[in-house]
Structure formats: C-alpha cells, structure tokens
Structure 1
Amino acid sequence: MSVIRTIGRGILFVAVGIVTITVGFFMLRGTMNMWNRSKKDDTSE
C-alpha cells in the first residue's frame, strides 16, 4: 500500500509542477503583452 501511495505522490508532484509551469508561462506572456502595449502607446503619443 505504501508503494502505491509513493507513486501517487510522485504523479501528483509532477502534475502540480506542470500546472504551475503552465500558469506561470501564461502570466509571464500576459505581462510581456502589457509591457509591449504600454511602450507602443508611449511612442504613438
């Protein structure tokens, strides 16, 4: 039973890691888009 629990924790750790990396990637992408928009707005005025 402890082997199954260890494998389950490993799979959960990998799944949470993948979700964290994905969310971080989209947050970073959104922040970069905001930076690009603000620079374009500053140059157009």
Structure 2
Amino acid sequence: MGKGDKKTKRGKINRGTFGVRRPRVKKKPSIETKISIDTKANPK
C-alpha cells in the first residue's frame, strides 16, 4: 500500500492518473462567462 499501488490515492498521484480514488476536479465556470461582458443591451 503506497506509491506503487494502482488502487490508492498516493499511487494515483505517483502515476499521474485519475480514477475512483482520485477524481478530476472540474473547473468552475468563470464569472466573465456568466455575465458575458462583450454582449451589450440592444435598445429598440
């Protein structure tokens, strides 16, 4: 149980892989994309 073990978190970190023990951290959408700065209000 350690760096060489494929099934442990430490082993996943050592190999640089992801799985059940070490899921990928999903990036949160940035504030700029929510507000959408480049779109302007169109007056009628």
Which category of TM-score, normalised to the shorter sequence, fits these structures?
0.3 to 0.5
Name the one with the larger helix percent.
1
Larger radius of gyration: 2
Q: Normalization by structure 1: what TM-score?
A: 0.34
State the structure with bigger RCO (CA 8 A, min sep 6), 1 or 2.
2
Q: Normalization by structure 2: what TM-score?
A: 0.34
